[in-house]
Amino acid sequence: MQELNFSRDRVACNYAISAHNRGLTIKIREDLYSSFLGLLQRNQEEYATTPHRAGQFEMPNGKECWGIRECFGSFRTGCPNWVTFDCPLPRVYGENCLGLIQGDAVSISLDLVMGALMLLPTKPARNGEPTQLFDQVLLSQGQTDQSYALAGWIGVEFLEWLRAQPNGRLTGPTQAMQDIVNHVCQDAKKEECRATVHEGRLLLDVYGNSTDLAMYEDNRFGAHNVGNPAQQLLLLFGFACVCDLVQQPVACR
């Protein structure tokens, strides 16, 4: 069988990320759920060999909350053919905040999950079947400023959607980012958060020193000048908001 090229071929959707008013929802194809758990277990064991200050990663195993510092909600099976779980964005800066450790807990947990999801077996999408909008998402956490990476690849359907958009601001994702930013970082300036399209390429901006997520010519995307988990998670939230415009999100929660 010919190997699929993610930036050229329409790959069937194995997983997706969606936004809600306080964070993210991740959905996984139900028939791949057991495979996902096996891959996640492997990632958890590797992470345990180099523990982070944020704490240990807890596998789901029927728990109400799981991940590092219980940052994920329980899995749900109410949506036909999909398993879903929520990831609320933490309050990293401000009054009654959970701080950088909780921000790192969410960032690391998402990285372990995304690392497992990208290893699931792929197949070509049939006509009318949802396609994989993005893949190989990396979230890293460094020990110095500007070292919180966020990167990945854009899929064919996402690229076609972007190229069909006029230049300018994406109103819905921009508003959603501005609505949630002060929950994550109390003193951030809302107006610095926006989602725009220019000549078929996506650009997301959040508060900071020219902190953004942009596309490259080879269909990769990457973040720049990201110095803390609040900025990183806000950019991922904005990206999820745009995914919801490209494909209708799972309607059941």
At 161 the pLDDT is 95
Cβ pair 136, 153 in contact under 8 A: yes
**How many C-beta atoms lie closer than 10 Å to residue 96's C-beta?**
6
Task: Find tokens 């893949």 and name the residue.
Answer: 135
Q: What is the pLDDT of residue 252?
A: 45
Residue 94 in contact with residue 186, Cβ under 8 Å? Answer: yes
| Cβ–Cβ < 8 Å for 146, 227 | yes
Beta strand extents in 49-199 (DSSP E only): 57-58, 65-68, 72-73, 82-88, 134-139, 150-154, 168-169, 194-198
Structure tokens belonging to residue 219: 């269909």
The tens-digit pLDDT sequence of the chain (253 residues) is 457 777 789 999 999 999 998 899 999 999 999 999 999 999 999 998 876 788 999 999 888 899 999 999 988 877 788 999 999 999 888 766 668 889 999 999 999 999 999 999 999 999 888 999 999 999 988 655 457 999 999 999 999 999 999 999 999 999 999 999 999 998 999 999 999 999 999 999 999 989 999 999 889 999 999 999 999 999 999 999 999 999 876 444 3
Question: What order do you get walking across the sheet with 57-58 strand by strand?
Answer: 57-58, 65-68, 72-73
What is each CA distance from 134 to 43, 187, 219, in whole angstroms? 20, 31, 10
| pLDDT for the residue numbered 1 | 43
Q: What is the pLDDT of residue 146?
A: 52
Taking alpha carbons only, the member of 242, 98, 105 closest to residue 184 is 98
Domain ranges of the chain: 15-246
Q: What's this model's pTM, rounded to 2 decimal places?
A: 0.94
Q: How many other CB atoms are found less than 10 A from the CB of residue 174?
A: 20
pLDDT of amino acid 97: 65
